[in-house]
Structure 1
Amino acid sequence: MNLENCTTPTEFMLVGLSDIPHLQVVLFMIFLSIYVIAILGNLTIILVYNYSSNLRTPMYFFLANFAFFDICYISNTVPNMLLNFLSGHKTISFYGCVVQLYFLMLLGSTECYILAAMAYDRYNAICQPLLYINIMNKESCIKFILGSWFIGIANSIIHTTLTFTLPFCGSNVINYFFCDIPPLLNLAYSDTRINELTTFFIGGFVTMGSLLLTIISYVNIISTILKIHSSSGRRKAFSTCVSHFVVVTIFYGSGIFIYLKPRSNYIMEHDRLVAIMYTVIAPLLNPFIYSLRNKDFKIAVKKIISEKIMAKY
């Protein structure tokens, strides 16, 4: 096809998770339940942080921000997915696809550095407890969040611009359930090596850079914990880090699998399942991973509930 005759599609067709008709309602109910639970769970973290004076610490400040990003993250993909489950015409407009990819990159890369900031916070709390209040003051925490936003915005602009300057002249069928870089590169009617290299190097720098910071923090944390003579002290120190480490493993593991591999290794059927992990399952599990293992959080919830009940009487 001559690129001079190339016409940009007005919409893309999304294959979705399944094309079996009788599964659409079942999938709709499953993902609607996941979405509602994820929103309520993350919203609970934000509200408890705002209403509980006992949780006004850097750790919960970062956790509340992370919960906000999780709400935005899952809302970027699931509502359109739910609509498509009940629609016989599974589409997303061209500009809707641009917006979806932009926020996917923005929220994903910003969350990477919030996770790194959370690891750094735990490092200072465990390894430098006497200096903790001075290092992790309110101004520092805000700078960490703003820095994460800046990296996310820059990363998102680069990837979204490079992706949508490609010509899409052939098929407009995206073999995925949302707009993402790998399936869009498969549709492009031109050489995508620059995009692949950009995804690998810039995406790798953003992802692996934040992961490296997280790993360095945890190496120091574990080293310090192992020097604690009291077994109860070691358990308490480990318990404050286990939840965060689980979230890091799920988020980074699935993200690295999707983005940091050559185009020749893209298998959309497999990648769709992995993409569910970081776009849907991670925002669902995060509130439970952080709150169910956290005594302070559960105490704060009970206190807020009891205060609300007492206020009525």
Structure 2
Amino acid sequence: MKGLYCRAAVNNAETKFVIQETSLPDVLGSHQVRVQVKACGLSPLDLKLLADIGVQRDLIPVGREVAGVVLQVGDKVSFFQPDDEVVGILPLDSSCSGLCDVIDIEENFLVQKPEKLSSVCVAAALRDGLCAYTALHTQAHMAAGHTLLVMDGASSFGLMCIQLACYHGVKVLTTSHSAQKHTFLEQLRPSVGVQDPLVVRVIPVYDTGSSDLLPQVLEETGGLGVDIVVDSGVRLLEEEKPQEMKLRPHKHDIISVLGVGGHWVTSHQDLQLDPPDCRLLHLKSASVSFLNPEVWTASSAQQGRYLHILKDVVEKMSTGVLRPQPEEAVPLYEATVAMETVQRQQRKKAVVQL
């Protein structure tokens, strides 16, 4: 049996992804489930995070969002039976690669997959759905009547945030990074119910950067600002290269569009706030929280809530409330090249069909 692994870079060498032979233990753990993998999602590997939590190996397993069919269960497993269709995210310290034909995983990292939901779709979008829930429900405490600004709404994560917020009665604004994405966002409609646009205003930033962000947000909110901002990275300096960084909002722009009591959820790991930024947040009684999608599998403190979120994500996908952008599945023999592209571009995703 073969799996995809990352050979960490040494002395500034380039990170390599390699196919390695692997095997499963003969005896299945009491609480483990043996799963035949049907599809596996590929997301960027955060090597720094793995080092921070003490996961240091010569070969690091790659591919953690999996969907498949249960082959065998341990003697103390209570949630699953053979032939059940399941989906889940492998823990950070997993020894298995999700691209193996068969993997062993603890039952408390899996949920049932609805029958009409394809394995490829759920493996590609599960992580983004989890991130959207974490940002909006767990951290920002979203409620009906709130106003939300989603940066880069046409990204897979941004799209999940928009759809989830609209489902809960939140007014959504977003930014677009190209003319094509702008048109796509303006044409977003719910799959059921009243066919009003999901987004009340799409703010283009591909020509002017974020210079038009503040006036357009204030115009749409009657000068009050938004209750929640969810970003996908920010600029810490006014002039940053490469070009795609200029499409990201400056940190001061985000603080400026926040209303009184507003909440900013950021994906930027190395955010630095200067005293004037902190002063402005203080004047607004606003807050900042960091979105770390790995926190659920890195800690078992809230395992029940984590499983509830996963179950709700897949149920909303199956009913059409959450409609992720379709990802074209790549075959297993292209997995190494696909993962290299994902790691290099950081925000791109891929899904492998086994």
TM-score range, shorter chain: under 0.3
Higher normalized contact order (CA 8 Å, seq sep 6+, divided by chain length): 1
| TM-score normalised over the length of structure 1 | 0.28
More helix by share: 1
